[in-house]
Structure 1
Amino acid sequence: MSTEHQRYSTENQSEAIGRYATERGFEIVRTYVDAGRSGLNIDGRQGLQDLLGDIEGRKADFSVVLVYDVSRWGRFPDSDEAAFYEYRCRAAGVNVIYCAEQFENDGSIGSDVQKVVKRRMAAEYSRELSVKVFAGQKRLIEMGFRQGGPPGFGLRRQLVDERGASKGLLDRLQHKSIQTDRVILVPGPHDEAQIVTRIYRNFVEGRLKESEIADSLNKQGVRTDLRRLWTRGTVHQVLINEKYIGNNVWNRGSFKLKQRRVRNDPQSWIRADNVFEPIVDRALYDAAQAIIEARSFRMTDAEMLVALRRLLDRKGALSGLLIDETDDCPSSGAFQRRFGSLIRAYQLVGYAPERDYAYIDINRALRRLHPSVISEVVDGLERFGGRVVRDEASQLLIVNHEFSVSVVIARCRETAAGKLRWRVRLERSLLPDVTIAVRMDGSNIAARDYLILPTLCMDEQVLRLQEFNGISLDSYLFETLEPLFEMGERSSLKEVA
């Protein structure tokens, strides 16, 4: 099943398979389930991966696989993929039987033709559903409703009912639960809105660079909406985002049918202007865009490439993040607009990366981020009444003199197929009771989620994580550090005389 709204789907399938087994005299010895996972690719399908692994690893204690119907392998865009997984089972000596189909999977021409048709129908169902969902999201954007994503610094998500009446603000990680409710963006706290305006004024009127603005905010103790330090890149994102003048822009990038992520041409963006309450004056915003555009438009193509080549010579690698963090270089967006894509610009300066990452600079940025993560952990534990000291020898956090905590940051890597991967090195020599692994998002700027792991339960020195890892690891993944803070929570009790 692909969503929690289909929570009875797997139960219904299991019941039908059980009846079929009883009628045919089969004994069910093992069950493989993928609950709440998309069937568009095998990533995240831990049940299917375990099934194939057990069969091909000769660990299967069964000779037949009962499948509800042909589409349960998945609604893959390439219908041959489902056939491939069935073939892998048969090649390892395990037969496949479909319990809810009107044909026997006996290898006859009739059954093979029906399987081909049903696989193609499953793929077409996904394609048609994708088209309908996109059309519905496009319409909601044009009506002025927000479609996913955090609101950003200085803004908040407000829930409204079908009549447009406010139902309150949504906190981070909260989502609407009623289908007819919608989400819009509204100005956040007054001090945050003032900071956004100040960023624009410092940039336009004060002629400060993004890096200078970031340094000033950090010195004042101001943090981003994700409670991170400001960088040139995060300030730049505030300066170029139209949501601060009330515009709703969507479809900058696509990930349709769980295939490779693509960055769409601006002509493909879906937009609705003046639908949110702005917190930045339009004239001020336009002035900022003019400055940003002038930085690249006043340079010829050759001059831009010279700047990019200089950066490559200094750093030894290129990435969109690295470009945006460099003062004497046009923004990554400028290179995309001028040359069609960053990859094309890379080719013109003789750089051919396997992936668009500058590993050295990302690692440096993550090392700078580590102290702020430690501070976030300490502040959260103390907010819940815990007491934290840092052991000078091991650098572990000792909480309430009861358990120790190690904090590591896991850089996100993208495979050639567009899949996200993380590697977590466990400090087993220090034997902390709990390891917090901060999994960074695809841009390696903000935390995606947190692995709060009882270290002594793990035998590996290094964990290699995917987006979905099965219940043995994913049960320790959390979107916030609140579960850790609750572990350290202490309450004062009145003394009994």
Structure 2
Amino acid sequence: MRTWNTAGYLRLSREDGDKSESDSIAHQRRLLEQYLAEHPELRLIDFYQDDGYTGTNFDRPSFRRMEEDMAAGIIDCILVKDLSRFGRDYIEVGRYLEKEFPARGVRFIAVNDGVDSEQGRYDMLLPIKNLFNTQYAKDISDKVRSTIRSKQRRGEFIGAFPSYGYRKDPRNHNHLEIDPPAACVVQRIFDLCEAGLGQLKIAKTLNAEHIPSPSEYKRLSGERYHNGRRMDQTTYWTYATVHRILQNQMYLGNMEQGRSERPGMHGKARQRQRAEWIVVPGTHDPIISREQWERVQSLLQKRTRQLSFEQNQSPFAGFLRCGVCGRAMVKTRRPGGLSYSCGSYKRYGPTVCTRHSISHAVLEQIVLEDLNRLLSSAGDLNILAQRSVAGLPHSSGGPPEGERLESALQRLRRLKKSAYEDYRDGLLSRVDYLAYQADYEAQIQALTRQLAQLAREQKDDPLRRPWVDALLRQGKLTELDRVTVAETIREIRVFPDHQLEITYTFADDAGLLSG
């Protein structure tokens, strides 16, 4: 008799509507142990347990570990209480049962559903059982979402982690009480803002005094906190963190929830407009008085200044990243001219990144020389230009001009969206964000006009376009503009000692250059 190396898989999730007793982890384990005792051909390798993970997807730590052991040949049999413990997504469950397991020679047993792949093909009711499991999970998901929304409208706190400055009431987790140490910091932030300090200066002050940021404070307090925003490793105060605190109505005693929503079980959460948030006044003790709150909001509105976008444009805006920490480089105007330095270092000092910068003139020279080096190795520019405007493939296999312009246009739209995400996540100040957005919009309009002009000129002499004429006459690029940078460069990383790593849109790898 063959011996099967068996994995006992256990899963429980209240979100799926699992019953606390009959579907408990302990109950599942006892049932599988009894089944194993009655079937000596099944040799238990290990129990794989996912407690608190939904069955509507398979992104579960123990399930992934079981998959790895299955791929490594450590196990060749999977034993579960029933199909719903394995999963509630009928499409994915069917894929595993019909394709993955047979291809790997893995036996699958669901005790209560009478499923055993070794006994022959699955019966015709199996897909229907999977479908019922999925529909049950969807029904529970809708009911949970409705219950959560009702609690939010009643002003009950339903989040995992309260806003910085508050903690859950141990007698009622839907009610918040003040956390004195953090509340003192919140009060100080409002006081500093009212005293005339900007958000960035407040962040620097708190960092200089070694006050833990909200996320770090939660971790130091023993909470298993995970920041869903990008740059999760940030443990210091930032402009964005201070800005969010100064605009959070929770500190007035108002419950502010429902900032995002998920359209379905597998949908990606989307941010809701502020007007759509659920705000219930007077649900908990305030940290900030109404009078101070209104004064601070008035100050925040007054400090929003208008920009001269013509003076703030840079051909490299949005393309420069620090090679050390990965954050955006920011420009600085000095008597010697324009230069770019690490935004993290400039805002928060040497505890975050190293001090390094590069002047605009040096950067432009390095990039121009490298682009011209690539052009010189491309072959006869006249032939390339004629093939390009005629829509023929380049000798290098690159796309025709129209496709390149369209690709650049799509890239600018992605950059425009990325700038908003960087602003939302605190990587860009509001001032820089507004400048970038205006800059990208101007480039998008310019590229749109170029595409329209291209369509008209292709009916006439294709070599009469200005950029083609200039390149053919001079044989090289003599200056960089936003369109050229957007078409040719994906990203520039700036390292100390003027070392650059340039990733081009037409190359798979990046080159490390020095200036």
TM-score (norm: length of structure 1): 0.52
Change (3 A) 1:188 1:102: closer
Q: What is the rounded CA distance, in whole Å, between the counterparts of 1:81 and 1:214 in structure 2?
A: 47
For residues 52 and 346 of structure 1, do their structure 2 counterparts lie closer, same or farther at Cα, with a shift above 3 Å needed? farther
Summarize deviations over 1:46-97 as a string: whole Å, max 9, x none. 2x3344334343344x5x5433222222123xx2111112221111223323
> Which of 64, 70, 86 in structure 1 is aligned with 2:83?
70
Distance in 2 between the 1:263 and 1:305 partners?
A: 33
- SS for the counterpart of 1:278 is coil
Q: How has the CA–CA distance of structure 1 residues 149 and 126 changed in structure 2, closer, same or farther, with 3 Å as cutoff?
A: same
Structure exhibiting the larger radius of gyration computed from Cα positions? 2
Letter in 2 for 1:244: Y
- Superposition deviation, residue 245 in structure 1: 1.0
SS in 1 for 2:170: strand
Show the 5 A alignment for 1:168-207.
Answer: 181-189=172-180, 193=183, 195-204=185-194, 206-207=195-196
Higher mean alpha-carbon deviation, 214-223 vs 323-332, is at 323-332
Query: Contact 1:305 / 1:345 at 8 angstroms: preserved in 2?
Result: no
Cα distance between partner residues in 2 of 1:146 and 1:345? 44
Q: CA distance change for structure 1 residues 65 and 309 in 2, over 3 Å: closer, same or farther?
A: same
| Equivalent residue, structure 2, for 1:230 | 237
User: Which residue of 2 is the match for residue 312 of structure 1?
Assistant: 318
**Is the 2:12–2:25 contact (alpha carbons within 8 Å) kept by the matching residues of 1?**
no
Q: Is the 8 A contact 2:109 2:115 kept in 1?
A: no
- 2:134 and 2:314 mapped to 1: Cα distance? 43
| CA distance in 1: counterparts of 2:249 and 2:443, whole angstroms | 28
Whether the 8 Å CA contact 1:254–1:264 is kept in 2: the answer is yes
Equivalent runs, 1:190-269 vs 2, <5 Å? 193=183, 195-204=185-194, 206-220=195-209, 222-225=211-214, 226-227=216-217, 229-254=236-261, 257=265, 260-269=268-277
Residues 1:53 and 1:273: Cα distance change in structure 2 (over 3 Å): same
Percent of pairs with identical residues: 21
Contact 2:423 2:433 in 1 (8 A): no
Q: Aligned to 1:98, which of 110, 115, 125? A: 110
Q: Secondary structure at the match of 1:329?
A: helix
User: Which blocks of at least 5 consecutive residues in structure 2 are unaligned?
Assistant: 1-10, 15-19, 218-234, 321-327, 330-417, 446-481, 497-515
Distance 1:118 1:303 in 2: 61
> Which letter maps to 1:2?
L
Amino acid across the alignment from 1:217: L
Give yes or no for the alignment of 1:49 onto 2:55: no
> How far does the alpha carbon of each residue in 1:181-205 deviate from its partner, in whole angstroms, 9 at most, with x for none?
333223343x75454344224324x
Distance 1:327 1:27, change over 3 A: closer
Deviates more, 1:14-23 or 1:238-247: 14-23
Contact 1:154-1:192 within 8 A present in 2 as well: yes
Once the two structures are TM-superposed, the CA of residue 250 in structure 1 deviates from its matched residue by: 1.6
Equivalent position of 2:45 in the other structure: 30
1-structure distance, mates of 2:244, 2:424: 14
Deviation at 1:236, TM superposition (A): 1.1
What amino acid is aligned across from residue 130 of structure 1 in structure 2?
S
Residue-pair matches, total: 321
Structure holding more helix per residue? 2
CA distance in 1, matches of 2:277, 2:64: 36
* CA offsets 1:12-52 (integer angstroms, 9 cap, x no match): 33443454455566433434422314123222242x33443
Query: 1:37-436 to 2 correspondence within 5 Å?
Result: 37-38=52-53, 39-46=55-62, 48-60=63-75, 62=76, 64-76=77-89, 79-86=90-97, 87-101=99-113, 111-160=122-171, 181-189=172-180, 193=183, 195-204=185-194, 206-220=195-209, 222-225=211-214, 226-227=216-217, 229-254=236-261, 257=265, 260-293=268-301, 312=318, 315=328, 318=419, 320=422, 324=426, 326-327=428-429, 329=431
Could you tell me the TM-score, scaled by structure 2's length? 0.51
Name which of structure 1's ranges 86-95 and 23-32 shifts more when overlaid on structure 2.
23-32
Unaligned runs of 5+ in 1: 161-180, 353-357, 365-497
What is the alpha-carbon distance in structure 2 between the residues aligned to residue 193 and residue 359 of structure 1? 41
